[in-house]
Amino acid sequence: MGSWIANPLHGFPNGGKIMKLATLRYVGIGIPIMAMAIMLFAPNAVDSFDYQGDNDLGYRVVTDREGNVYAAGTGLSDSNGKDFILVKYNSSLVYQWDVSYDGPGHGNDDLTGLALDSSGNVFISGTSTGSSGLDVAVVGFYPNGTLIWGTGDGAQRYNSSGSQPDIANDMVIDVSGNIAICGSTTPTGSYADGLVIVFEPDGDIKSGWPQTIGGGDDEYVFNCISTSSANRVVAAGYFLPEGVSEDKDFLFKQWSGSGSGISEYTYDYQGKNDEAVDIAYGIGTNIAVAVNVYTSGNENRGSVWHFSDGDDGYGWQQIYASESRFNAITTDGTYDYAVGSEGEEMLTVKLVDANGNYSTTWASAGDGVGIRVYHGSYSDAVAMSVHTLGSGVTLTGAAVNPNDTTPQYAHYLTLAYTKNGGLLVEQYYPAGDPTTNDIGYSVNVFGRGYIVVTGDLYEEVEEDQFHNMGTLLYILAGDENDPSSSTIEVGSSG
């Protein structure tokens, strides 16, 4: 199988030939279905966005209040390395506009963040090549695609003193419109320090920021960030002590909105690499973190941690006993859902409530209390992103379609479960046995059962293969809060 399991989050295979591709769209055939346990046949709409004829990757997707869809990723340009790319669609996935960003160094610009503020303005961010190395960059757009910060190239950039390499790994926008980005900055001749920087809505760096953690030859990196309703900032990642190899420890830190440290926590499981991959604020005082730990016997174990907002120390942890890894976590206010892989052949959905208890309503499928395992027919299945849908949950990733006649290649797999854990949506894309590997990186939902997915769509036309940012729309008609009692129509034109 391909290498996408081992390297799931950044970059993409580099073997595609250069070729221009016209944008492809179609609308699926109407398929009314009257019950649960649904195998959909096609998305309601698909858009394959090609930037400049080379390898592109969709990495994040969000929707606004009207159901407009923003998909963002990284596009490989003709002459300026990789650029940030952003495409807006309406709620029927009809293309509206696209923009891109190439930093002043005209080198690689890797997008890692996409978020909306409360006014529906859209922001993209990542690691950008500046005139003196790598910087953090964020660019904001009004809903019509024009730049919010109109000076220069429209970006706000952060270049640390000494022009150190500054890396952006994740972005979130708080309730006041402040833009918080986490990652790392590496002093010359030393190791990475954890970095969090907060920009105000006008683009200025907020007072009290940036904050770094590190110094000396210890290594600190933040992978994920979230903010509370009180504008507190939390970030998580890993800490690697000086002189130590293969023994990263899980790192968590919380600050006030003005950058004052509130709490800091590191954790070593069994002397191997332990690292946080995603973080989410729940309702009230819960901060949920997905952490992958590694046993002394060299087994991956996904774990979920809860921290309290506004004070120090953690509430509890749940470490799953089986070989498992998480890539994403979200919360619906009652339960946390963590997704990734279990063993080498399954997607997992595991959930716990704010006290660390498993949901008993998900106990009936034979996978264990609070656990759903997607038992695919072939190996190498992984979930990359999760979003709650009504009282249920939807996730995307990649797996081999058992209906393929020569099953060797993974494709987007999108799943939705009802609040009781019933499988509502099970959708592979593309269909038709294409000999390419594809992966859904990000999922979002809006309204009554609209699911959007974006990712890396590896397309083959005759003998040419190339990657595009592939965005899908699935529409479920009915009450997603209680799908089992509703008529669910899929595939109708949205």
Q: Which residues bind Ca ion (CB under 5 A)?
A: 50, 56, 80-81, 83, 102, 109, 133, 135, 159, 163, 166, 247, 249, 268, 274, 466, 468
Q: Smallest distance, Å, CB 395 to Ca ion? A: 25
The residue among 77 and 444 lying less far from Ca ion, judged by its C-beta, is 77
Q: Where are the beta strands (DSSP E) in 54-199?
A: 56-63, 69-76, 82-89, 95-101, 109-116, 122-130, 133-141, 155-158, 166-173, 179-185, 193-199
The residue among 166 and 404 lying less far from Ca ion, judged by its C-beta, is 166
On whether the CB atoms of residues 164 and 186 are closer than 8 A, the answer is yes
On whether the CB atoms of residues 367 and 374 are closer than 8 A, the answer is no
- Token pair of 421 as six digits: 């854990």
The residue among 79 and 406 lying less far from Ca ion, judged by its C-beta, is 79
Q: Smallest distance, Å, CB 111 to Ca ion? A: 11
Distance (Å, whole) CA 301 – CA 261: 29
Q: Smallest distance, Å, CB 132 to Ca ion? A: 7
Which amino acid is located at 80 in the chain? N
On whether the CB atoms of residues 52 and 78 are closer than 8 A, the answer is yes
The residue among 164 and 385 lying less far from Ca ion, judged by its C-beta, is 164
Q: Smallest distance, Å, CB 426 to Ca ion? A: 28
- Token pair of 219 as six digits: 């290594």
On whether the CB atoms of residues 251 and 266 are closer than 8 A, the answer is yes
3-state helix, strand, coil split of the chain in percent (to 5) is 0, 55, 45
Q: Smallest distance, Å, CB 115 to Ca ion? A: 21
The residue among 195 and 198 lying less far from Ca ion, judged by its C-beta, is 195
The residue among 183 and 282 lying less far from Ca ion, judged by its C-beta, is 183
Distance (Å, whole) CA 306 – CA 354: 8
- SS3 for 360? helix
The residue among 176 and 435 lying less far from Ca ion, judged by its C-beta, is 435
Q: Smallest distance, Å, CB 475 to Ca ion? A: 26
Whether the link from the prior residue into 165 is cis, omega within 30° of 0, is no
Q: Smallest distance, Å, CB 324 to Ca ion? A: 17
Can you tell me which residue has the tokens 């995603």?
278
Distance (Å, whole) CA 385 – CA 375: 18
